[in-house]
């Protein structure tokens, strides 16, 4: 069965600092991988996705993520965070041939210090 | 292009009642799925529909049901509401069933009292 682990429940960084959110997945083959962001009271907005090809993927709002098959990881990074990046971030895995059924991690809440 | 639209956005129901939530996918999208989000359980898959057929179902009791119409719009229904059904219900759509980006709506906040 697929599973996703986001080891960090809550992270606090200073504005302008770099950010890395961790995501580890368990899946028997190469999955589809997603990062979504959720602001309070809102739905999920897609930041980026990995389906195949280049293992470093670029997303919106200056985010990027790197797929590392050997480590079963798909960590999200941003070189310099802005106060507006404060939100909850979810990593998700989808099975090839059944991409609508996503399995989500528990989420990482990001707080930005001014 | 309009995004995924969910109605109602907020609702309060009493235990034992039933509720119907509606979802209009992005124009041209034929696959719709539903998720429940709670603080304790996180985001959990409910079901997925494509061309009016349920393709997948999550591990939820039979009180949770859904359907999809010929125009791809979808509804989900929860009968005999329990306090634990209080959650954000998210609808998502994608063009087809595989290899596509999945877009979410703003959700319907259900409070059961």
pLDDT of residue A100: 74
Q: Please state, in angstroms and as integers, the Cα–Cα distance from residue A34 to each residue in A14, B57, B71, B93, B97, following that order.
A: 25, 21, 27, 15, 16
> Is the predicted pLDDT of residue B99 greater than 70, yes or no?
no
pLDDT of residue A78: 98
Q: Which residues of A touch B58 (CB under 8 A)?
A: 101
pLDDT tens for B20-66 read: 999 999 999 999 999 999 998 999 999 999 999 998 899 999 999 99
Q: Do A100 and B31 touch (CB under 8 A)?
A: yes
Q: How far is A43 from chain B (nearest CA, A)?
A: 4
Q: What share of chain B is helix, strand, coil (3-state, %, to 5)?
A: 5, 55, 45
Which mean pLDDT values do the consecutive 10-residue runs of chain A (114 residues) have? Answer: 93 97 89 93 92 92 95 96 97 77 95 94
What are A82's two structure tokens?
Answer: 């802005």
How far apart (Å, rounded) are the C-alpha atoms in residues B105 and B102? 10
Instruction: Give the closest of A46, A101, A105 to B45, CB-based.
Output: A101
């Amino acid at each position: 069965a697929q599973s996703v682990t986001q080891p960090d429940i809550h992270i606090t960084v200073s504005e302008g600092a770099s950010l890395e959110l961790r995501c580890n997945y368990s899946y028997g083959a190469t999955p589809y991988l997603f990062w979504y962001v959720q602001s309070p009271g809102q739905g999920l907005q897609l930041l980026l996705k990995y389906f195949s090809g280049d293992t470093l993927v670029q997303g919106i709002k200056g985010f990027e993520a790197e797929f590392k098959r050997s480590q079963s990881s798909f960590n999200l990074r941003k070189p310099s965070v802005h106060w507006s990046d404060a939100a909850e971030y979810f990593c998700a895995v989808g099975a090839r041939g059944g991409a609508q059924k996503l399995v989500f991690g528990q989420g990482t809440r990001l707080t930005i210090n001014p | 292009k309009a995004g995924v639209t969910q109605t109602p956005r907020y609702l309060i129901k009493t235990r034992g009642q039933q509720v119907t939530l509606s979802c209009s996918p992005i124009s041209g999208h034929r696959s719709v799925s539903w998720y429940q989000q709670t603080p304790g359980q996180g985001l959990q898959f409910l079901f997925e529909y494509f061309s009016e057929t349920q393709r997948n179902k999550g591990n939820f009791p039979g009180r949770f049901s859904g359907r999809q119409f010929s125009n791809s719009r979808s509804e989900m229904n929860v009968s005999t509401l329990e306090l634990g059904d209080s959650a954000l219900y998210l609808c998502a759509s994608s063009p087809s069933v595989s290899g596509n980006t999945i877009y979410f709506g703003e959700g319907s906040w259900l409070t059961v009292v």
